[in-house]
Amino acid sequence: MVRYLDIHPVDPQQRTVEQAVALLRGGGMIAYPTDSGYALGAQVGNADALQRIRSIRDLDDKHHFTLVCRDFAQLGQFVHVDNAVFRAIKAATPGPYTFILPGTLEVPKRLLQAKKKTVGVRISDHRITRALVEELGEPILTSTLILPGETEAMTQAWQIGEELGDRVDAIVDSGEEILPQPTTVVDLSEGYAEIIRVGAGDPTPFE
């Protein structure tokens, strides 16, 4: 039976945050709430969890995984950010944006998009997401929890438990239904902005 970790949506309890992070550090994979719906999360170097995420979501090597970072300094350790895009990213974070950028040597090759060697990065202002990444002390390898054949992220913990069962090690349950608002995805890997998907973030600064 899947484990549920109850957490307050506005004031996340430190004990619950620590339990979730202990699972991540122990090689586990969790489903956790973000501002765009539920997501699957694991440590960056966890190859087994990566394969589990690929299996649950039926992903190929063209998919961009996302590293949810604590702040801009941490983001800069995992992707190359040149002067041309520095200010644009800085101004838009934290917020509902995912940026596609070339990965640094800190990113395992298996996480990079096969052809372009890029990875998604974001800095969220969601309280539970921020609490988890702060406690972990490194980015969370993340993929939005969209099941094969669906177009929107899952939004309720109990549904995730019914659908996935023990395919995840724990579900961080905020006790609320989250509106599935996807991030705005901006590809900056070529030194200019290409808007891949318009979502919750205003695309105007990148047009």
What one-character-per-residue DSSP string does the chain give? --EEEE--SSS--HHHHHHHHHHHHTT--EEEEEBTEEEEEEETT-HHHHHHHHHHHT--TT---EEE-SSHHHHHHHB---HHHHHHHHHH-SSSEEEEEEB-TTS-GGGS-TTT-EEEEE----HHHHHHHHHHSSPEEEEE---TT-SS----HHHHHHHHGGGSSEEEE-SSPPP--PPEEEE-TTSS-EEEE--SS--GGG-
Of the candidates 73, 65, 62, the one whose C-alpha atom is nearest the C-alpha of residue 42 is: 65
Domains assigned to the chain = 3-206 (3.90.870.10)
pLDDT for res 85: 83
Q: At residue 84, does pLDDT exceed 80?
A: no
Q: Residue 17's pLDDT band (boundaries 50, 70, 90)? A: very high
pLDDT digits (tens, 9 = 90+) for 150-171: 999 999 999 999 999 999 999 9
pLDDT for res 87: 86
- Please, are residues 171 and 2 in contact by the beta-carbon 8 Å criterion? yes
Tokens of 161: 């438990």
Q: Is the pTM of this model over 0.85?
A: yes
- Please, are residues 4 and 158 in contact by the beta-carbon 8 Å criterion? no
